[in-house]
Structure 1
Amino acid sequence: MQDEKKVNTKTVDPVVDQKIIKKDRPGWLLWLLPLLALLLLLIWFMQHHQNDSQTSSQTTNSIHPSAAANKAPDADSGSAVDKINAWFAGDKNAESGWITLDSVRFSSGSAELITDDSAQLEKIAGILNAHSEARVVIRGFADATGPQWLNENLSAERAGAVRAWLVSHHVNDDRLSIDGRGASAPVASNATELGREKNRRVALKIQPGN
């Protein structure tokens, strides 16, 4: 009798149980995405609101000009060369007004002439030389720094510095007279350095020749 080898056959179930492993999702993802969406919406809203504000401002400015735009030009608007040319061209309104030399300035406490545009002064000298019959009064001014008597002397020296410059460019000295008014006629506030710089000035007045 043959020994029969018993083969223990393991029954394999065709359906294998599989464990479904779910990866744990971080909890912060649940609120991060809505937060990003809210942030993007907020950025879009702010940009849209800013564009609307700029458009509204431009529209308002075009319909209702600002007070600065509506302000009438002051007596010192326009260059000194233009005003002198206008006077000799027949605009005698300049006869009663003073023409500020807008290219000339002075340091505080100094009568040394500083020019931002020497070509402008040269043009003025050329115009005056072309009209040798006219006489010119040159008046200096000062800011409110220091006592009045000192400012009056300093302002007269500033007028003298302009006269000396014109004489050096062939304008006859006999046609030029000077005076100083100190800080008596400010054109800007003396509370700021910019205002004081504007007040340290020289103006001239053209008078018809005899």
Structure 2
Amino acid sequence: METIDTHFHLPVGEMTVTLQDVALLLGLHIDGEPFTGDTAYDWYAECERLLGLRPDAKTITGFSLRLRWLSQHFSKFPQQVGKHTREYHSRAYILYLFGAILFTDSSGDTVLLMFLPLLDNLELVHLYSWGSATLAWLHRSLCRASRRGATQLDGNLLLLRLWAWERLHIGLPQIHSVRAPQMHAPEVGKGVSDMVEEVAKGMVPQVQPAGELP
């Protein structure tokens, strides 16, 4: 069995992305029901049942669906929206979110269809531990990327970037505090028209010292 290494080895020790990071950085649930994907489906029929459309042969490759197809057919709501249409678009949006952010693959344009049956009952989707799943997916991707000859890294790279920004503090840009502009009170006796004229000329009204009011 191969050794799985998902840690970053630093001079001061080892670091890795944890469930706490997932909860704080992404706001995903790290508790809830575990789940596994099943590939024993007729995916064309499942897409037609849960998304309302049947993809063509070029849209499904193996067990994956092209994200471009989801974007083309579900980016806009039709004029007449019923219950089933809302559910179709909701599943398509979540499925696109899985493929584009949470569970990305090396292609960058597909999502595994094993997630689609989990969206059958939308009222139960929140019960799953999506945070644990996306972290496990990222750890597996880091393990593959650490092997000799690996040239690609997939998984939730947004989580990895946010984690590196918050935890490593190496190479971060220096953010200087922005000083608020100083506001000067107008001179006593000046009206709005005088103020507008001074601003137009690039003049900033100054506050007169106490005791020197006209």
TM-score (norm 1): 0.19
Which protein has the bigger strand share? Answer: 1
TM-score (norm 2): 0.19
